Structure 1
Amino acid sequence: MAWMLILLGVLVLAAITLLLLRPTRYSRSKNDAKRIQIVVLGDIGRSPRMQYHAMSLARHGYTVDIIGYKESDIHPALDSDSKVHIVPIPPWPRKWQTDDRKLFVLMAPLKVIWQTWGLFAAMSYKTSPSRFVLVQNPPSIPTLLIARVACILRNTTFCIDWHNFGHSILALKLGPSHPLVRISHFYEYFVTKDAPINFTVTAAMARVLRENHDRTGVVPLYDRPPAHFQPCPSATARSEGFLSLATQQSWPVDFSSSPLSPRVIVSSTSWTPDEDFSLLLTALSSYSAAAKSNSLPPIIAIITGKGPQKEYYLSKITEMQGHGKLTHVRILTAWLSIEDYARLLSYAHLGVSLHTSSSGVDLPMKVVDMFGAGLPVVGWDRFEAWSELVQEGMNGRGFGSAEALGDLLVELMGDEKQMQKLREGAEKETQRRWNDEWEEKAGKIFE
């Protein structure tokens, strides 16, 4: 209870203090040019959907200020667009970050204060007044409150792009019954109740907002692949392209001991608790054991991404290799440019999604990228929204355990006809792109 009062006090104090400040307000008579702020309280380079929003809005004549952490490279199209401006905010110091539950609770109020001032300064003083603010949620604390206060002070329309629910992610770390999770649940829906424009990544999420929280103006805006994800025209081109990329990245991909050509699988992960990477490690160990006694090709598994649990899992991979559990599997990790990542997906044989969905109603955007490159997918399917993305047996397959994933890998790597059918289904998903979805759903609203 004490921590509930402390965090609530921090939020209320921050809101009162900010309300006493008077940043320049938006006035349509004084500012005829269309302007919008996009708020990402995270690494802008690792928020592709918000970058795609920015490109679409700039194409519609908006001047776009993207506010967030600038830790990774952003899309080249944004770098070269004079209508798009990156407004960096200082990140929470790395030395104060922790995965320890008790320390996390102790540091939470300080982190909220740090983020509050950095975000409010960027939204209200480092940028010109805008007509709209489009906020990525989560993270919810303190993003939603600060954005709401800034919108009130600057006469700006408050818009939310719901990627998931912040309280459900917090529950992964603290447990669903923790006081901070209950506060987050109340706060998240209370602060956003008056937002007139709400985009969601799934129809299931839109339904939750409408039915459970009496929201109007909720528009499902599906992630769709942008134009730079494209299928490779042939198996030969995929093989040659992968070897070229592997040489460029200095990946050891030679399996000269096997008479069969290796299969390339790709999994993009943020190395966080909502993606249990041990599922894939167990499945690959199972596959390696099966490959010893069956005519199965070796696997090159390339894992892309950054995140807090990466070092932990790298040590597990080293341990498994030392015990001979991955003799027919080679696991490589990489952080690739946008262009190289798109190339890798087009060259691979199979994509793997480990996203388990904290809320049950969000979807992994990585699968959309894989479909954009014509890459079939296997993924964790034990959540409600999965069927909005993947058609079982048509463009992908689902699993609900490490054992099931291992069996799927054995089945698919040994069945070229099924793999070809799944690839054809994935390539059909390339027919509708992000621009098509955005113009139909969001373009009309922002016009």
Structure 2
Amino acid sequence: MSAINWLLVWEATLTLAVILSTAVTLLIFTLPTSYSHFHPHEQRETDFTEADKTTSPEASGYAYFRTHSHHGVLKQDASVQVVVLGDIGRSPRMQNHALSIATHGGHVDLIGYTDSEIHPALRAHRSITIIPIPSFPLPPPTNTLTFLLLAPLKLAWQLQSLYHALGYLTAPTKWLLVQNPPSIPLLLVAQTIAFVRNTRLVIDWHNLGFSLLALRLGTHHPLVTLASWHEGRCARAATAHFAVTDAMCRVLASRWNIKAVALHDRPAAHFQPLTKEQRLAFLRTRPELQSGRDFDLETRSWRLLVSPTSWTEDEDFALLLDALSLYATARRTDPVLPELRAVITGKGPLQAHYKTLIATMTANGELHGITITTAWLSTTDYAALLASADLGISLHTSSSGVDLPMKVVDMFGAGLPVAGWSRFEAWPELVTEGVNGRGFGSAGELAGILQGLFGREGGELEGLRAGAVEEGGRRWGGEWGAVAGELFRLRG
């Protein structure tokens, strides 16, 4: 290489170094208060409205304030940034974390997308501040090529929006609790903020991020290998780890030498069984079910299935359609089998594809006697729908084999038995076969379960419902207090 070329390389490198050092200096010194260390949050009488004090003292946190404050001031030593790189409204576990921290006397900055309804209890509580971050403005990719092309743009968008929210829009906190996955770029940003602010980073493991990426790119793709390295490298910097299953704790220990504590999902308080009258009243309000039939749950001639889904690659919705098609075929020779109504709840990238497939199968007569509708429900209506159904269907296949679908926990809270994909390691931690649910590994097995539960005998379904009610009696509050409450020193 000529001397002139070397000189150009040197000048370019020097210029880049000056720009980067200047940017870092400005970042550190322009907002010094944003990067100071944690100081306990103080809550005062003036933070509450008259309505908070008179009509909703429990929901607003005023009842706790009145009991624990001194001279009109409550020092909240446990302040936590709860971060979801996703839609807060579709992250029930992190919403539960935030509400539990607040109701036990802590202060919460809840950070994430606000594309759907957030539980009203979170908005009502004066110890919870919701900090929205903007969603990536482009539509989700439809194939691998567009995914790879859009990935750098989405990464840059998420980096700046996360860093701005965690470092500029919120004051320093004692704890930073993040949901994983997604791992990229959340863990890197969280690790940086925690280091600069001397904040204690806690990772709540819902799954393994690289295993979800492998669903799209394949297990041996270089980006999957890089993602696995990044996930383990960043995660080891955390102070503590929660995981949704014992199996995941074992995998984290063996793969990355990470010591995690199991914090199992349990149903929140708003998931409750309903009486016959309550179910009847709710079902009469649902447009998905209106057809002039008698809605009495004891005598109606059809059965109601509910399948919550995120319409993503880790849920094989085609399996359910194949099973329903097999059930429809069986009904032609067994008139005792009832008609089925299936309500599919949720939003996601594959919804349009499967709605087209449902329409095609219906037009071809493959789903005779079966009606499938989709719905996006409020938190209250979703809980009521689960409590009013005959059987819940979980299609979660688990990319890692060690996570669990929270939708099943919600079903148990509502007293709804479940049939779910069971071919992964952690399934027995949640469902006891033949007691509160049934597992399947193929469309044929699911069709057989539906025929057995809704056919001539009918007694097994009631037994499963009783088991679901019993399992649903184990609630989030007790599980959270013994694990997360101890870590955050929140027991009152």
Provide the C-alpha distance between the structure 2 equivalents of 1:14 and 1:375, rounded to a whole number of angstroms.
56
Q: 1:195 to 1:27 in 2, by over 3 A?
A: same
**How far did 1:99 drift?**
2.2
**Equivalent residue number for residue 241 of structure 1:** 281
Q: 1:394 to 1:404 in 2, by over 3 A?
A: same
Provide the C-alpha distance between the structure 2 equivalents of 1:310 and 1:434, rounded to a whole number of angstroms.
30
Amino acid at match of 1:308: P
User: What is the aligned counterpart of 1:272 among 309, 312, 326?
Assistant: 312
Provide the C-alpha distance between the structure 1 equivalents of 2:484 and 2:319, rounded to a whole number of angstroms.
37
Provide the C-alpha distance between the structure 2 equivalents of 1:292 and 1:227, rounded to a whole number of angstroms.
42
Runs of at least 5 residues in structure 1 that lack an aligned partner in the other structure:
1-12
Q: 1:255 to 1:318 in 2, by over 3 A?
A: farther
Q: TM-score, normalised by structure 1?
A: 0.92
Runs of at least 5 residues in structure 2 that lack an aligned partner in the other structure:
1-18, 29-33, 43-74
CA contact (8 A) 1:201 1:362 kept: yes
User: What is the aligned counterpart of 1:284 among 295, 299, 324?
Assistant: 324
CA contact (8 A) 1:268 1:304 kept: yes
**How far did 1:242 drift?**
4.6
**Equivalent residue number for residue 125 of structure 1:** 168
Q: Between Structure 1 and Structure 2, whose CA radius of gyration is higher?
A: 2
CA contact (8 A) 2:394 2:421 kept: yes
Q: 1:210 to 1:324 in 2, by over 3 A?
A: same
**How far did 1:199 drift?**
0.4
**Equivalent residue number for residue 24 of structure 1:** 35
CA distances 1:77-114 after superposition (whole Å, capped 9, x unpaired): 0011111111111111134x312201211221221111
Say what the alpha-carbon RMSD is for the aligned residues: 2.0
Amino acid at match of 1:142: P
CA contact (8 A) 1:116 1:146 kept: yes
**Equivalent residue number for residue 396 of structure 1:** 437
**Equivalent residue number for residue 245 of structure 2:** 202
User: What is the aligned counterpart of 1:53 among 81, 97, 106?
Assistant: 97
**Equivalent residue number for residue 439 of structure 1:** 481
**Equivalent residue number for residue 127 of structure 2:** 83
Q: 1:397 to 1:21 in 2, by over 3 A?
A: same
CA contact (8 A) 2:191 2:237 kept: no
**Equivalent residue number for residue 422 of structure 1:** 464
* SS of match in other structure, 1:404: helix
User: What is the aligned counterpart of 1:42 among 82, 86, 91?
Assistant: 86
Q: 1:121 to 1:14 in 2, by over 3 A?
A: farther
Q: 1:112 to 1:342 in 2, by over 3 A?
A: same
Amino acid at match of 2:118: I
Q: What does 1:225-240 align with in structure 2 at a 5 Å threshold?
A: 225-234=267-276, 237-238=278-279, 240=280
User: What is the aligned counterpart of 2:210 among 144, 149, 167?
Assistant: 167
Provide the C-alpha distance between the structure 1 equivalents of 2:328 and 2:274, rounded to a whole number of angstroms.
28
Q: What does 1:361-400 align with in structure 2 at a 5 Å threshold?
A: 361-400=402-441
**Equivalent residue number for residue 186 of structure 1:** 229
Provide the C-alpha distance between the structure 2 equivalents of 1:88 and 1:15, rounded to a whole number of angstroms.
30
Correspondence 1:64 to 2:70: no
* SS of match in other structure, 1:45: helix
Provide the C-alpha distance between the structure 1 equivalents of 2:435 and 2:25, rounded to a whole number of angstroms.
53
Provide the C-alpha distance between the structure 2 equivalents of 1:367 and 1:303, rounded to a whole number of angstroms.
14
Q: TM-score, normalised by structure 2?
A: 0.83
* SS of match in other structure, 2:332: helix
Amino acid at match of 2:254: E
**Equivalent residue number for residue 5 of structure 1:** none
**Equivalent residue number for residue 266 of structure 2:** 224
CA contact (8 A) 2:194 2:200 kept: yes
Q: What does 1:288-299 align with in structure 2 at a 5 Å threshold?
A: 288-294=328-334, 295-299=336-340
CA distances 1:101-153 after superposition (whole Å, capped 9, x unpaired): 01211221221111001000000010111000000000000000001001111
Provide the C-alpha distance between the structure 1 equivalents of 2:292 and 2:416, rounded to a whole number of angstroms.
23
**How far did 1:416 drift?**
1.8
CA contact (8 A) 2:289 2:341 kept: no
* SS of match in other structure, 1:293: coil
Provide the C-alpha distance between the structure 2 equivalents of 1:233 and 1:29, rounded to a whole number of angstroms.
45
| Identical amino acids, percent of aligned pairs | 50
Q: 1:443 to 1:91 in 2, by over 3 A?
A: same
**How far did 1:30 drift?**
8.9
Provide the C-alpha distance between the structure 2 equivalents of 1:20 and 1:394, rounded to a whole number of angstroms.
61
Amino acid at match of 1:279: L
CA contact (8 A) 2:41 2:76 kept: no
CA contact (8 A) 1:255 1:298 kept: no
CA contact (8 A) 1:120 1:146 kept: yes
